[in-house]
Chains A and B, each alone.
Chain A
Amino acid sequence: MSSDLAALAVVLETAFARGVDAPLPDAAFDELALRVFAHQFDTCATYRRFCEGRNVRPETVGGWEDVPAVPARAFRHVELLSGPGPVDATFLTSGTTAGGGVRGRHAVPRISLYRASLRPNFRAHLLPEGEPLPLVSFVPCPEVAPESSLSAMVGDVSAAFCDRTWWLADPRSGTDANSFLEAAHKVAEDGRAALVVGTAFAFVHLLDALARAGRRTRLPEGTRVMETGGFKGRSRSVSREDLYAGIRERLGVPTERVVNEYGMTELLSQLYEPVLREGPGSRGRHVPPPWLHVRALDPATLEPVPEGRPGLLAFFDLANAGSVAHVLTEDIGSVAHDGVRLQGRAPGAEPRGCSMAMEELMSVADGEA
């Protein structure tokens, strides 16, 4: 019986613990993927009926590609839990306008599996020179934002790898230049390289505040920055080049020490640009850990596109064993043996037409009320 999440999780956690450089051959990945699928088919009745509606059962599946993918938006509408309650955590998506403001819910029955995926991957991409080190976070701490998967991630990074943490994001007031400069001063006094994390939007905010105050600082040599997320739904967007130039100029962190992370609430594993491991030539390419497989699919037919050609990204994440592992996104990218090149949301994502989805308008109306 494969429906025991605890037993399955132990197998997966052991595999993840071998790290991102330990090879996981396709056959071994498939074997784990099919065990995960069988577990999800057995324990999540909604997903099972969805698969049966497509005439797919565990015994008809040859490889992970055959497992039915759920659209990322489905997390807004149905509970996709494959395992016993109560869950350790529930992460919520940010609730975009396009979804009528409805937030997706990702139930996490075993947080240990999430951490087992997060830590070796993070360490490989952000801490190649080792730890512990001080952390400056522009992401709210988990106590303030318990529903945010990003906060959970930074919280765990803080607990596992950092001996001192400055939580600088106040969810109400945002980040002010002074509290950052104070933290930067203490980091500089200490003289050790630091880890700085935040969303792209938070960094833009900080850089604006520093520019207004006419201030800049120089974080100790070896400091690295992890930035994540885009500008979706924000009034101001800035090119990545300008953002990195600002980080170099105002924070004193060179561009080759800035790592972009690509993740989403619906996936418990993350992808990183391997710039600290492979050098600045790897900019623009994101690498998944061995337990996360990705394909690019033709947007019209959902058939796989040839290597290197852009398509809709679909992920199979073994760390999602407690929910649904195969997720179809709305993001466009190309996939090659060395990673994923993201192109952001599908082009023309602005709805064509003077009509607008009713639910989007309802969310606007709610927001204005």
Chain B
Amino acid sequence: MNGVFDAWALPAGIDPPRGGDVALPAGGARLRVAAFDAAWVRWLARTLRAASAELRSLPVGAVAASLGRVGARFLDEEDPIRTRALELMPAESGLSPAMASAVLDGMAADWTEERLVELLRTDLGDPTVLDRFVDIGRGSVRALGPELCVQVVSGSVPGVGATALVRSLLVKAPTLLKPGRGDVVLPVLMARALREEDPFLANAVGVVYWRGGQAELEDAALERADAVIAYGGDEVVRGLRERAPVTARFVGYHHRVSVGVVGREALTPDTLHRTASEVAGAAAFFDQRGCVSPQVVYTEEGGAVAPSVFARELAVAFGALEKLLPGGRLQSAEAATLHQVRGSAELLAASGSGVEVHHGGAASWTVVFDPTRTLTAGCVGRVVRVVPVADVLGVAGLLAPVGTHLQTAGVAGCAGRLEALAESLASVGVCRVTPFGGVPFPPPWWHHDGQGPLRALVRWTDVEG
């Protein structure tokens, strides 16, 4: 990473407090963190909130167009914004350069004007409800974004913070966004690009990074918020939920787990290779840090190819993927856990339990065929457990204990039974069922953790008449 990157982007004329900057090493990168204090954050929040009236006067189409222009720049190979992002992302996130580039492509694809308009239409019907009352026959309705949206984002997957920023701006909400370590660069670059594309809109955005756990800064930001969006672990989300103003709307994207379900139709000699490649791709993307990333793949017995054979093919696929989209650098705690996971699995294998272990040595990918269903995988690099099941329709029963934390189920080879499978998975808590190829990047119209992301932000006013 070249030079020092300022971990903030602020409205015109606002500077971060002077003095006391701290440079954080981030895998060779240097992030300059300003010494924000509670009074300054409170003042920033007030300033942003004051931009609400003017922001609401902008037509939603114009907002989407401006954001779309910014999004397109992240996809343009010639654009210095994209170049800078790709320079900084690997050092900041620990992803390999190839993976960082693939992540940016996937994320930014959803930031184009076309996709943003699609998102608005899906979530709100007629997007102009954000501009004026719209006649619905028996009356008319109007949707208003919050006057100040405060977002606290985890740093696990780069792009999540920028997507969060796009969403709140789409509903014309001035936004104070506190990104997580590991995902600071993209929202800051997005806000800077926005300044170039639409200075007026950019004046309603403050992206400020401070080190996590500084409750007094969070409290200062939360004070005047009428919407609070929190991404992170259960504890972080719980803390913010408790401290958000009672009148603020709260959306918590807490811990989630995702799984895969492979039916016997996908386990034939002809389909085996393709199935394994798609499952490996779904699990390896984001180095498995995404809430959509499958950790356990329930694999049906009774097909032409046994689940243990599928596990071996999956290992081959991970090995091939390592060349295309290499795994990133593990933190030492993650590396330590990976040794524990692999070694425990190897000992279970040696104990005659039927467990089989395949791994990439220095590469983190690890496939454990686990008929005992007793191992712990841990979220450390690319680690997948293949668990054999007699019938894919029995998977929902196994997942019921973690129902409130379920997210995506990637599926293959369940064609004739998809409806019954989806019904059973939905009933225990799964929010999304998709072919493995679609796992990493949900479509713009998805119900994020079970609800429309823009609908979750707006307040409706009805005129009955």
Contact = CB atoms under 8 A, between A and B. Distances in A.
Nearest to A68: B343
B175 to A, nearest CB: 20
Interface in A323-360: 328, 330, 332, 345-360
Contacts of B154: 353-354
| Chain B interface SS verdict (over half) | mixed
B351 interface: yes
B379 interface: yes
A93 B278 CA distance: 39
Interface stretch (A84-92, A96-104, A216-224, A237-245): A96-104
Interface string B167-194: 0000000000000001000000000000
Given A74-B344, A330-B340, A352 B331 contact: yes
A347 B335 CA distance: 11
A354 B290 contact: yes
A70 B346 CA distance: 9
Interface residues of B, number: 59
B332 A332 contact: yes
A73 B255 CA distance: 24
B375 A77 contact: yes
Contact of B293 (A47, A102, A355): A355
A356 B343 contact: no
Nearest to B343: A71
Given A76-B344, A78-B348, A348-B334, A357 B378 contact: yes
B72 to A, nearest CB: 27
Contacts of B349: 49, 53
B350 A366 contact: no
Interface in B311-363: 330-337, 339-344, 346-353, 362
B405 A300 contact: no
B74 interface: no
A355 B295 contact: yes
A368 to B, nearest CB: 10
A46 interface: yes
Interface in A24-73: 45-50, 53, 69-73
B88 interface: no
A300 B350 contact: no
Interface of A: 45-50, 53, 69-74, 76-80, 98-100, 102, 299-302, 312, 328, 330, 332, 345-362, 364-366
5 contacts: A78-B344, A330-B333, A348-B334, A352-B379, A353-B156
Given A99-B376, A328-B340, 19 more contacts: A48-B350, A71-B339, A72-B340, A73-B343, A77-B375, A78-B347, A80-B347, A100-B376, A299-B339, A300-B332, A330-B337, A330-B340, A348-B333, A351-B378, A354-B255, A355-B258, A355-B289, A356-B379, A359-B377
